[in-house]
A and B are shown apart, each in its own frame.
Chain A
Amino acid sequence: MSGIVLETRQMHMAFGGLVIFESIDFALRQGERHAIIGPNGAGKTTFVNLVTGLLKPISGTIWLDGQDVTRQSPQQRVKSGLVRTFQINSLFKALNPLESVMLALLERDGLGRIAWRKVAAEKHQIDEAMALLARFGLADDAYTLTDSLAYGKQRLLEIVLALALKPKVLLLDEPAAGLSTQQGHEVFSQLANLPGETAILFIEHDMNLVFQYADIVSVFAAGSMVLQDSPENVRKSPRVREVYLGA
């Protein structure tokens, strides 16, 4: 069993009187391909927002690589290797994919505050950006305005931006949402090619993708984690059927 890279301890969250999580204890291990499933409103995206720091939990702690990051800003967590994608495309509309990926690479390499020489001087990053785009079939669209890209390509760009940061822990909020079945599988086979030590946590509704690519599945429902097990066991579990169908 390899080490835990991301952990929540007794994390409690509520919006006003609406309790989202009573208390969540969750652990993600190095190299794991971990899926979170659950019906709408189970708190899956809120979980990702809490872990990445866009939201602050009411109580409980969040640990990254053995360090308490509960009080750290989202930026500090990114610098420690915790990177996410968004469920709804969250991109730079007036920039093209090359410029967008450059933003990620320049921030990763600590070059984003350089104001006295042009972007063209950062040749390594430019070449790396082009290579990343090519890997995801976006090379031909490198100079097309993001806003005018097809939806599927915007989804891919969303993932390229996250990968550009060389994450230790990658959180994907419905990476295949809105993609065709084939595109969905393409995305996941690319993710499967990532370095083995990268831990991936993904929220996904497409059960075929979940059962094919996850080693472990957590089921969220009504503010708690009702089950955490291998894909085969989750598939067979009557609890899961109950959660989804309300039977």
Chain B
Amino acid sequence: MSVMDPAPAQISTSGRDYFATLARWKIWEILFWAALAGCYFVPEMDRMLMSRVIIWGLFAMSLDILLGYRGIPSLGHAVFFGTGAYVAGFCGKYGWTEPISALFFAMAIAAALGWLTGKLVQRVAGVGLLMVTLGLNLILFDFVLRSTDLTGGDDGLQGIVIAPVLNMFRFDIYGRTAFWYALVVAFILFVAARILVKSPFGLALIGARENPRRMITLGAPVEGDVSRAFMIAAALAGAAGALLTQTTQTVAPPTLSFQRSADVLVILIIGGAGRLYGGFIGAIVFILLQDYLSSISPVYWYFWIGLLLVVIVSFFRKGLLPSLDALLQRFIKRKPDTPS
């Protein structure tokens, strides 16, 4: 196993301890969230950019539930992000300005769409799944683009108003409220996702990823679980979309473009799937790099992203986080041999 999930065989003898150790918060996890919060206090920090990083991290984490834990690839995950973003946008435009309840509402709508998508694809596997999710993405994108009366088409929704969070914190141009709002929501949803992946249901998802036929012969409702996984992932993606709308007070078709679906997949692959943090690590690398590269060359920055993807997938296979983890693990194992 790994530093992230220490092999409890060495620590414990009973099965109870094993599962307890798996679920325990590790020191590096606390450090990670503390460091993310600490970014706020760094002078000259672009807080709008950091809140974008957090939102993308949450979005990639939602895909991780599907891809990393259940083993379902999706090329249309922006459908749920975009749904959350537009629902939050409509709320803000038509008078439901309170952000937290609107966020829940956006999550609920995205979850319903996710559940339906799950129903549709639960018998499809592999390349077929990629095609169906991609198709759904294209349908929704075109619908939003063409329904100019409803969505403002290419220009996006105009006149979105978001009330201060808790009636106290106004969204300001420096991104102060945006940063904390995004961070707190992302953290709460991360904790929920973390409980989920360590729960019996999380174990069942991993079981179905490893061997769906065997899960069926153990009596597990494997197809129903696909819908449930889609529903949960969609709710989380919808929350990320709603956060983006609320923190920027704008929403436009790119939030549900195919490009966005591809980007979130790239982010998750760069960071490493199957451990929740991969999405956040990937988002930090991807969004900061995107920001930096597009400031030097607004046209060619995808060249570098492409190169990065090729390098990471060729040399790190499973993404940055697992590779880093394996490296640390080797270092720790070697340590007792080296004389101090």
Which A residues form the contact surface with B (CB < 8 A)? Answer: 52, 54, 74-75, 78-79, 83-84, 86, 90-95, 98-100, 102-104, 106-108, 111-120, 122-123, 126-127, 129-130, 142-144, 161, 165
Contact = CB atoms under 8 A, between A and B. Distances in A.
Summarize B's interface: helix, strand, loop or mixed.
helix
Contact of B16 (A52, A54, A126, A144): A126
Contacts of B8: 143
B61 to A, nearest CB: 16
Interface stretch (B99-107, B207-215, B251-259): B207-215
A120 B23 contact: yes
B219 A79 contact: yes
Given A78-B219, A123-B16, A95 B207 contact: yes
A91 B219 contact: no
B201 interface: yes
Contacts of B18: 98, 142-143
A208 to B, nearest CB: 28
Contact of A106 (B200, B210, B211, B214): B200
Q: Top 5 closest A-B pairs, CB basis?
A: A78-B219, A143-B9, A120-B19, A115-B201, A92-B210
A52 B20 CA distance: 36
Chain B, interface size category, equals 35 or more
Nearest to A99: B203
Contacts of A102: 200, 203
A93 B207 CA distance: 9
Contact of A118 (B9, B195, B220, B221): B195
Given A111-B200, A144-B9, 11 more contacts: A79-B219, A90-B213, A92-B206, A100-B207, A112-B201, A116-B195, A118-B23, A126-B16, A129-B15, A130-B15, A161-B218
B19 A103 contact: no
B198 interface: yes
B198 A118 contact: yes
B191 to A, nearest CB: 12
Interface string B183-224: 000000000000110111111101100110111111111100
